[in-house]
Amino acid sequence: MPNILEIRNQFPILKTLVRGNPLVYLDNAATTQKPQSVIDALVKYYTTQNSNVHRGVHYLSNLATDEFEKSRKLVQKFINAEKDSEIIFTRGTTEAINLVAATYGRSTFKEGDEIIISAMEHHSNIVPWQLLETELGIKLRVIPMNDDGELLLDEFEKLLNEKTKFVSVVYISNSLGTINPVKYIIKKAHSLGIPVLIDAAQAIHHKKIDVKELDCDFLAFSGHKMYGPTGIGVLYGKKKYLEAMPPYQGGGDMIKSVRFERTIFNDIPYKFEAGTPDISGGIALAEAIRFIQSIGYDEIEKYEKELLDYATEKVTEIPELTIIGRAKEKSSVLSFVIEDIHPHDIGTFLDVDGVAIRTGHHCTEPVMHRFGIPATSRASFAIYNTKEEIDVFVESIKKAIQLFK
Protein backbone atom coordinates (compact mmCIF):
# COMPACT_ATOMS: atom_id res chain seq x y z
CA MET A 1 0.00 0.00 0.00
CA PRO A 2 1.50 3.39 -0.99
CA ASN A 3 1.92 6.02 1.71
CA ILE A 4 -0.98 8.28 0.69
CA LEU A 5 -0.17 11.01 3.23
CA GLU A 6 3.35 11.22 1.87
CA ILE A 7 1.98 11.36 -1.67
CA ARG A 8 -0.54 14.07 -0.75
CA ASN A 9 2.20 16.18 0.77
CA GLN A 10 3.81 16.39 -2.66
CA PHE A 11 0.76 18.30 -4.00
CA PRO A 12 0.64 21.84 -2.60
CA ILE A 13 -2.81 22.60 -4.04
CA LEU A 14 -4.38 19.88 -1.86
CA LYS A 15 -3.82 22.15 1.15
CA THR A 16 -6.33 24.63 -0.31
CA LEU A 17 -9.35 25.64 1.76
CA VAL A 18 -12.63 26.24 -0.08
CA ARG A 19 -14.93 28.48 1.96
CA GLY A 20 -13.23 27.17 5.07
CA ASN A 21 -13.51 23.52 4.02
CA PRO A 22 -10.57 21.37 2.93
CA LEU A 23 -10.49 20.91 -0.83
CA VAL A 24 -11.75 17.47 -1.89
CA TYR A 25 -10.57 17.27 -5.48
CA LEU A 26 -12.51 14.59 -7.39
CA ASP A 27 -12.21 16.00 -10.91
CA ASN A 28 -9.14 14.07 -11.98
CA ALA A 29 -10.63 12.88 -15.27
CA ALA A 30 -10.69 16.54 -16.35
CA THR A 31 -7.14 17.22 -15.15
CA THR A 32 -4.91 15.96 -12.38
CA GLN A 33 -3.12 18.15 -9.87
CA LYS A 34 0.65 18.59 -10.09
CA PRO A 35 3.29 17.38 -7.63
CA GLN A 36 5.93 19.83 -6.43
CA SER A 37 8.55 18.12 -8.61
CA VAL A 38 6.62 19.07 -11.77
CA ILE A 39 6.12 22.63 -10.55
CA ASP A 40 9.82 22.86 -9.67
CA ALA A 41 10.80 21.64 -13.15
CA LEU A 42 8.76 24.43 -14.74
CA VAL A 43 10.32 27.05 -12.44
CA LYS A 44 13.81 25.66 -13.02
CA TYR A 45 13.39 25.82 -16.77
CA TYR A 46 12.32 29.46 -16.77
CA THR A 47 14.94 30.50 -14.22
CA THR A 48 18.00 28.57 -15.41
CA GLN A 49 17.37 26.92 -18.82
CA ASN A 50 15.07 29.17 -20.87
CA SER A 51 16.06 29.16 -24.54
CA ASN A 52 14.72 27.92 -27.84
CA VAL A 53 15.63 24.36 -28.74
CA HIS A 54 17.35 22.72 -31.72
CA ARG A 55 18.46 25.89 -33.46
CA GLY A 56 21.16 27.38 -31.28
CA VAL A 57 24.85 26.84 -30.63
CA HIS A 58 25.04 28.69 -27.32
CA TYR A 59 25.06 27.21 -23.83
CA LEU A 60 21.40 27.79 -22.87
CA SER A 61 20.07 26.51 -26.18
CA ASN A 62 22.11 23.33 -25.90
CA LEU A 63 21.01 22.89 -22.27
CA ALA A 64 17.31 23.31 -23.10
CA THR A 65 17.62 21.01 -26.11
CA ASP A 66 19.31 18.30 -24.05
CA GLU A 67 16.60 18.40 -21.38
CA PHE A 68 13.79 18.46 -23.94
CA GLU A 69 15.19 15.50 -25.87
CA LYS A 70 15.90 13.58 -22.65
CA SER A 71 12.18 13.86 -21.95
CA ARG A 72 11.38 12.40 -25.36
CA LYS A 73 13.65 9.43 -24.61
CA LEU A 74 11.96 8.95 -21.24
CA VAL A 75 8.53 8.93 -22.88
CA GLN A 76 9.82 6.32 -25.34
CA LYS A 77 10.89 4.05 -22.49
CA PHE A 78 7.76 4.82 -20.47
CA ILE A 79 5.48 3.36 -23.16
CA ASN A 80 8.14 0.98 -24.55
CA ALA A 81 8.28 2.45 -28.06
CA GLU A 82 10.92 1.09 -30.40
CA LYS A 83 12.57 4.46 -31.09
CA ASP A 84 12.43 7.97 -29.64
CA SER A 85 11.74 9.23 -33.18
CA GLU A 86 8.29 7.60 -32.82
CA ILE A 87 7.44 10.09 -30.05
CA ILE A 88 5.89 13.34 -31.30
CA PHE A 89 5.21 16.14 -28.85
CA THR A 90 1.79 17.76 -29.34
CA ARG A 91 -0.43 20.10 -27.34
CA GLY A 92 -2.42 17.14 -26.07
CA THR A 93 -4.55 14.16 -27.07
CA THR A 94 -6.92 16.31 -29.13
CA GLU A 95 -4.14 17.65 -31.32
CA ALA A 96 -2.56 14.20 -31.59
CA ILE A 97 -5.76 12.66 -32.98
CA ASN A 98 -6.32 15.62 -35.28
CA LEU A 99 -2.76 15.23 -36.54
CA VAL A 100 -3.38 11.62 -37.54
CA ALA A 101 -6.74 12.43 -39.15
CA ALA A 102 -5.33 15.38 -41.08
CA THR A 103 -2.17 13.61 -42.31
CA TYR A 104 -2.65 9.85 -42.44
CA GLY A 105 -6.39 10.17 -43.03
CA ARG A 106 -6.34 12.89 -45.66
CA SER A 107 -3.51 11.23 -47.61
CA THR A 108 -4.86 7.67 -47.37
CA PHE A 109 -8.67 7.61 -47.26
CA LYS A 110 -10.92 7.92 -50.28
CA GLU A 111 -14.64 8.14 -50.88
CA GLY A 112 -16.50 5.11 -49.55
CA ASP A 113 -13.81 4.08 -47.07
CA GLU A 114 -15.02 3.35 -43.53
CA ILE A 115 -13.58 4.38 -40.18
CA ILE A 116 -14.66 2.60 -36.99
CA ILE A 117 -14.91 4.37 -33.64
CA SER A 118 -16.89 3.47 -30.52
CA ALA A 119 -20.09 4.80 -28.97
CA MET A 120 -18.17 6.15 -25.95
CA GLU A 121 -15.64 8.36 -27.71
CA HIS A 122 -14.66 11.82 -26.56
CA HIS A 123 -15.60 14.48 -29.10
CA SER A 124 -11.92 14.76 -30.05
CA ASN A 125 -12.11 11.21 -31.45
CA ILE A 126 -15.35 11.89 -33.33
CA VAL A 127 -15.18 15.35 -34.89
CA PRO A 128 -11.81 14.98 -36.70
CA TRP A 129 -13.19 11.94 -38.55
CA GLN A 130 -16.47 13.73 -39.28
CA LEU A 131 -14.49 16.51 -40.91
CA LEU A 132 -13.02 13.89 -43.24
CA GLU A 133 -16.52 12.53 -43.87
CA THR A 134 -17.49 15.93 -45.24
CA GLU A 135 -14.25 16.47 -47.12
CA LEU A 136 -13.56 13.01 -48.55
CA GLY A 137 -16.87 11.19 -48.45
CA ILE A 138 -15.74 8.50 -46.02
CA LYS A 139 -18.19 6.76 -43.69
CA LEU A 140 -17.99 6.73 -39.90
CA ARG A 141 -19.15 3.47 -38.29
CA VAL A 142 -19.80 3.18 -34.55
CA ILE A 143 -19.36 0.19 -32.20
CA PRO A 144 -22.49 0.18 -29.99
CA MET A 145 -22.52 -0.45 -26.25
CA ASN A 146 -24.87 -2.13 -23.79
CA ASP A 147 -26.72 -0.62 -20.84
CA ASP A 148 -23.73 -1.19 -18.56
CA GLY A 149 -21.48 0.87 -20.82
CA GLU A 150 -19.59 -2.05 -22.38
CA LEU A 151 -18.78 -2.30 -26.08
CA LEU A 152 -20.60 -5.00 -28.02
CA LEU A 153 -17.65 -6.80 -29.54
CA ASP A 154 -19.74 -9.06 -31.76
CA GLU A 155 -21.13 -5.90 -33.37
CA PHE A 156 -17.58 -4.59 -33.80
CA GLU A 157 -16.66 -7.74 -35.69
CA LYS A 158 -19.69 -7.28 -37.94
CA LEU A 159 -18.56 -3.74 -38.77
CA LEU A 160 -15.17 -4.93 -40.01
CA ASN A 161 -15.10 -5.40 -43.78
CA GLU A 162 -13.03 -4.70 -46.88
CA LYS A 163 -14.07 -1.01 -46.77
CA THR A 164 -12.70 -0.54 -43.23
CA LYS A 165 -9.48 1.46 -43.43
CA PHE A 166 -8.95 2.63 -39.84
CA VAL A 167 -10.07 1.97 -36.25
CA SER A 168 -9.80 4.64 -33.53
CA VAL A 169 -11.02 3.80 -30.02
CA VAL A 170 -10.71 5.06 -26.48
CA TYR A 171 -8.85 2.89 -23.94
CA ILE A 172 -10.79 4.14 -20.89
CA SER A 173 -14.01 6.12 -21.20
CA ASN A 174 -13.78 9.52 -19.52
CA SER A 175 -17.52 9.64 -18.84
CA LEU A 176 -18.20 6.02 -17.86
CA GLY A 177 -14.86 4.66 -16.63
CA THR A 178 -15.17 1.58 -18.88
CA ILE A 179 -11.85 -0.10 -19.66
CA ASN A 180 -12.15 -1.29 -23.24
CA PRO A 181 -10.52 -4.52 -24.50
CA VAL A 182 -8.21 -2.60 -26.81
CA LYS A 183 -5.75 -5.44 -27.28
CA TYR A 184 -8.56 -7.62 -28.66
CA ILE A 185 -9.78 -4.78 -30.89
CA ILE A 186 -6.26 -4.21 -32.24
CA LYS A 187 -5.75 -7.91 -32.94
CA LYS A 188 -9.05 -8.21 -34.79
CA ALA A 189 -8.35 -5.11 -36.88
CA HIS A 190 -4.81 -6.23 -37.67
CA SER A 191 -6.08 -9.58 -38.91
CA LEU A 192 -7.55 -7.58 -41.79
CA GLY A 193 -4.55 -5.26 -42.12
CA ILE A 194 -6.35 -2.30 -40.55
CA PRO A 195 -4.29 0.18 -38.46
CA VAL A 196 -5.53 1.24 -35.02
CA LEU A 197 -5.25 4.42 -32.96
CA ILE A 198 -5.77 4.24 -29.19
CA ASP A 199 -6.91 7.31 -27.25
CA ALA A 200 -5.10 6.77 -23.95
CA ALA A 201 -5.87 10.15 -22.36
CA GLN A 202 -7.82 8.57 -19.49
CA ALA A 203 -5.64 5.47 -19.25
CA ILE A 204 -2.12 6.85 -19.03
CA HIS A 205 -2.12 7.60 -15.29
CA HIS A 206 -4.14 4.53 -14.31
CA LYS A 207 -2.63 1.66 -16.30
CA LYS A 208 0.80 0.68 -17.55
CA ILE A 209 0.87 0.97 -21.34
CA ASP A 210 3.28 -1.00 -23.51
CA VAL A 211 2.80 -0.10 -27.17
CA LYS A 212 4.74 -3.15 -28.31
CA GLU A 213 2.54 -5.48 -26.28
CA LEU A 214 -0.63 -3.75 -27.47
CA ASP A 215 0.76 -3.53 -31.00
CA CYS A 216 -1.21 -0.32 -31.60
CA ASP A 217 -0.20 1.74 -34.61
CA PHE A 218 -0.86 5.09 -32.94
CA LEU A 219 -1.36 6.10 -29.30
CA ALA A 220 -2.30 9.54 -27.98
CA PHE A 221 -2.21 10.99 -24.47
CA SER A 222 -1.97 14.29 -22.57
CA GLY A 223 0.49 15.43 -19.93
CA HIS A 224 -2.08 17.17 -17.74
CA LYS A 225 -4.06 13.94 -17.24
CA MET A 226 -0.96 12.26 -15.73
CA TYR A 227 0.17 14.87 -13.16
CA GLY A 228 2.06 16.87 -15.79
CA PRO A 229 1.56 20.36 -17.22
CA THR A 230 -1.21 21.50 -19.54
CA GLY A 231 -0.28 22.21 -23.15
CA ILE A 232 1.92 19.15 -23.69
CA GLY A 233 0.87 15.79 -25.10
CA VAL A 234 2.25 12.84 -27.01
CA LEU A 235 1.48 11.06 -30.22
CA TYR A 236 3.19 7.71 -30.61
CA GLY A 237 3.20 6.28 -34.10
CA LYS A 238 4.91 3.33 -35.70
CA LYS A 239 7.84 4.51 -37.78
CA LYS A 240 6.48 3.12 -41.06
CA TYR A 241 3.34 5.24 -40.76
CA LEU A 242 5.00 8.42 -39.52
CA GLU A 243 7.58 8.40 -42.29
CA ALA A 244 4.89 7.98 -44.96
CA MET A 245 2.59 10.69 -43.56
CA PRO A 246 2.80 14.27 -44.88
CA PRO A 247 3.53 17.11 -42.42
CA TYR A 248 0.73 18.46 -40.25
CA GLN A 249 1.85 22.10 -40.19
CA GLY A 250 4.52 24.12 -41.94
CA GLY A 251 7.13 26.32 -40.30
CA GLY A 252 10.40 26.21 -38.44
CA ASP A 253 12.04 22.97 -37.31
CA MET A 254 9.94 20.72 -39.56
CA ILE A 255 12.17 21.44 -42.56
CA LYS A 256 15.63 20.51 -43.78
CA SER A 257 15.77 23.22 -46.42
CA VAL A 258 13.43 25.78 -47.95
CA ARG A 259 13.54 27.26 -51.44
CA PHE A 260 10.77 29.04 -53.29
CA GLU A 261 10.78 26.15 -55.71
CA ARG A 262 10.78 23.34 -53.15
CA THR A 263 10.92 22.50 -49.46
CA ILE A 264 12.58 19.38 -48.08
CA PHE A 265 10.94 18.19 -44.86
CA ASN A 266 12.78 17.12 -41.73
CA ASP A 267 12.99 13.56 -40.43
CA ILE A 268 10.56 12.24 -37.84
CA PRO A 269 9.64 13.30 -35.21
CA TYR A 270 10.55 16.89 -36.12
CA LYS A 271 8.55 16.73 -39.36
CA PHE A 272 5.45 16.99 -37.15
CA GLU A 273 6.73 19.60 -34.67
CA ALA A 274 6.52 22.89 -36.55
CA GLY A 275 7.45 26.03 -34.64
CA THR A 276 8.62 26.43 -31.06
CA PRO A 277 7.30 23.52 -28.97
CA ASP A 278 6.12 23.64 -25.36
CA ILE A 279 9.68 23.26 -24.09
CA SER A 280 8.94 23.73 -20.40
CA GLY A 281 5.96 21.37 -20.63
CA GLY A 282 8.03 18.72 -22.34
CA ILE A 283 10.74 18.92 -19.70
CA ALA A 284 8.23 18.89 -16.81
CA LEU A 285 6.41 15.92 -18.36
CA ALA A 286 9.50 13.86 -17.52
CA GLU A 287 8.99 14.69 -13.84
CA ALA A 288 5.36 13.56 -14.04
CA ILE A 289 6.55 10.25 -15.46
CA ARG A 290 9.10 9.89 -12.66
CA PHE A 291 6.37 10.60 -10.11
CA ILE A 292 4.22 7.76 -11.51
CA GLN A 293 7.24 5.45 -11.67
CA SER A 294 8.13 6.23 -8.04
CA ILE A 295 4.83 4.67 -6.95
CA GLY A 296 4.45 2.00 -9.63
CA TYR A 297 1.40 1.10 -11.71
CA ASP A 298 0.65 -2.05 -9.71
CA GLU A 299 0.24 0.00 -6.53
CA ILE A 300 -1.68 2.73 -8.35
CA GLU A 301 -4.17 0.30 -9.92
CA LYS A 302 -4.69 -1.59 -6.67
CA TYR A 303 -5.28 1.54 -4.57
CA GLU A 304 -7.49 3.31 -7.10
CA LYS A 305 -9.64 0.17 -7.42
CA GLU A 306 -10.10 0.29 -3.64
CA LEU A 307 -11.27 3.89 -3.92
CA LEU A 308 -13.68 3.15 -6.77
CA ASP A 309 -15.13 0.10 -5.03
CA TYR A 310 -15.55 2.04 -1.80
CA ALA A 311 -17.22 5.01 -3.51
CA THR A 312 -19.49 2.72 -5.54
CA GLU A 313 -20.59 0.91 -2.41
CA LYS A 314 -21.30 4.16 -0.56
CA VAL A 315 -23.32 5.87 -3.32
CA THR A 316 -25.29 2.68 -3.98
CA GLU A 317 -26.81 3.19 -0.53
CA ILE A 318 -28.44 6.43 -1.76
CA PRO A 319 -31.84 5.40 -3.24
CA GLU A 320 -32.27 8.57 -5.34
CA LEU A 321 -28.91 8.04 -7.08
CA THR A 322 -28.33 6.00 -10.25
CA ILE A 323 -24.83 5.12 -11.45
CA ILE A 324 -24.28 5.57 -15.19
CA GLY A 325 -21.71 3.06 -16.38
CA ARG A 326 -21.50 -0.29 -14.61
CA ALA A 327 -18.97 -2.12 -16.73
CA LYS A 328 -17.28 -5.13 -15.16
CA GLU A 329 -13.90 -3.60 -16.06
CA LYS A 330 -13.83 -0.03 -14.79
CA SER A 331 -11.28 2.58 -13.85
CA SER A 332 -11.51 5.52 -11.45
CA VAL A 333 -14.67 7.22 -12.76
CA LEU A 334 -18.05 7.32 -11.03
CA SER A 335 -20.78 8.99 -13.12
CA PHE A 336 -24.24 9.34 -11.69
CA VAL A 337 -27.58 11.11 -11.85
CA ILE A 338 -29.92 11.97 -8.99
CA GLU A 339 -33.67 11.86 -9.35
CA ASP A 340 -35.22 15.30 -10.04
CA ILE A 341 -31.94 17.21 -9.48
CA HIS A 342 -29.90 18.53 -12.38
CA PRO A 343 -26.20 17.55 -12.27
CA HIS A 344 -25.15 21.23 -12.39
CA ASP A 345 -27.12 21.86 -9.20
CA ILE A 346 -25.43 18.90 -7.52
CA GLY A 347 -22.00 20.15 -8.58
CA THR A 348 -22.72 23.66 -7.35
CA PHE A 349 -23.95 22.41 -3.98
CA LEU A 350 -20.97 20.10 -3.48
CA ASP A 351 -18.64 22.99 -4.24
CA VAL A 352 -19.98 24.78 -1.15
CA ASP A 353 -18.54 21.92 0.90
CA GLY A 354 -15.23 22.13 -0.98
CA VAL A 355 -15.93 19.04 -3.11
CA ALA A 356 -14.85 19.44 -6.73
CA ILE A 357 -16.60 17.18 -9.24
CA ARG A 358 -17.40 17.64 -12.93
CA THR A 359 -20.94 18.04 -14.27
CA GLY A 360 -22.16 18.07 -17.86
CA HIS A 361 -21.79 15.83 -20.87
CA HIS A 362 -17.99 15.52 -20.43
CA CYS A 363 -17.39 16.06 -24.17
CA THR A 364 -19.28 12.81 -24.81
CA GLU A 365 -22.72 13.96 -25.90
CA PRO A 366 -23.46 10.71 -27.78
CA VAL A 367 -22.95 8.82 -24.50
CA MET A 368 -25.55 11.02 -22.83
CA HIS A 369 -27.96 10.45 -25.73
CA ARG A 370 -27.38 6.69 -25.44
CA PHE A 371 -28.53 6.75 -21.81
CA GLY A 372 -31.32 9.26 -22.41
CA ILE A 373 -29.95 11.93 -20.09
CA PRO A 374 -28.69 15.49 -20.64
CA ALA A 375 -25.69 15.20 -18.33
CA THR A 376 -24.15 13.40 -15.36
CA SER A 377 -22.29 14.30 -12.23
CA ARG A 378 -18.84 12.70 -12.29
CA ALA A 379 -16.41 11.99 -9.50
CA SER A 380 -13.02 10.74 -10.67
CA PHE A 381 -10.21 9.51 -8.47
CA ALA A 382 -6.43 9.69 -8.44
CA ILE A 383 -3.65 8.25 -6.31
CA TYR A 384 -3.79 11.14 -3.82
CA ASN A 385 -7.48 10.74 -2.97
CA THR A 386 -8.65 9.04 0.23
CA LYS A 387 -11.66 7.16 1.57
CA GLU A 388 -12.17 10.01 4.03
CA GLU A 389 -12.62 12.36 1.06
CA ILE A 390 -15.15 9.97 -0.43
CA ASP A 391 -17.07 10.08 2.86
CA VAL A 392 -17.21 13.89 2.63
CA PHE A 393 -18.36 13.60 -0.99
CA VAL A 394 -21.14 11.14 -0.13
CA GLU A 395 -22.36 13.16 2.86
CA SER A 396 -22.46 16.28 0.70
CA ILE A 397 -24.63 14.46 -1.85
CA LYS A 398 -27.03 13.41 0.92
CA LYS A 399 -27.27 17.01 2.14
CA ALA A 400 -27.98 18.21 -1.39
CA ILE A 401 -30.81 15.69 -1.78
CA GLN A 402 -32.37 16.82 1.49
CA LEU A 403 -32.13 20.46 0.39
CA PHE A 404 -33.85 19.85 -2.94
CA LYS A 405 -36.65 17.67 -1.55
Q: Which residues on adjacent β-strands are paired with residue 151? A: 145
Residue 181: helix, strand or coil by DSSP?
coil
The angle, 0 to 180 degrees and rounded to 10, between the axes of the packed helices 59-79 and 279-295 is 40
Instruction: Say if residue 269 is preceded by a cis peptide, omega within 30 of 0.
Output: yes
3-state SS of 365-389 is: HHHHHHHCCCCEEEEECCCCCCHHH
Residues 6+ apart with CB under 8 A from 393: 24, 26, 311, 350, 355, 357, 379
Q: What is the Cα–Cα distance from 357 to 367, expressed in whole angstroms? A: 19
Q: Where are the beta strands (DSSP E) in 259-302?
A: 263-265
Catalytic residue selected from 37, 363, 386, 399: 363
Determine contact, residues 364/126, Cβ cutoff 8 Å.
no
Amino acid type, 365 = E
Q: What is the Cα–Cα distance from 189 to 181, expressed in whole angstroms? A: 13
Determine contact, residues 212/79, Cβ cutoff 8 Å.
no
Q: What is the Cα–Cα distance from 398 to 405, expressed in whole angstroms? A: 11
Q: Where are the beta strands (DSSP E) in 91-190?
A: 114-118, 139-143, 164-170
Amino acid type, 325 = G
| Pairing relationship of beta strands 21-22 and 24-25 according to DSSP bridges | unpaired
Does 216 participate in catalysis according to the annotation? no
Tell me the catalytic residues: 363
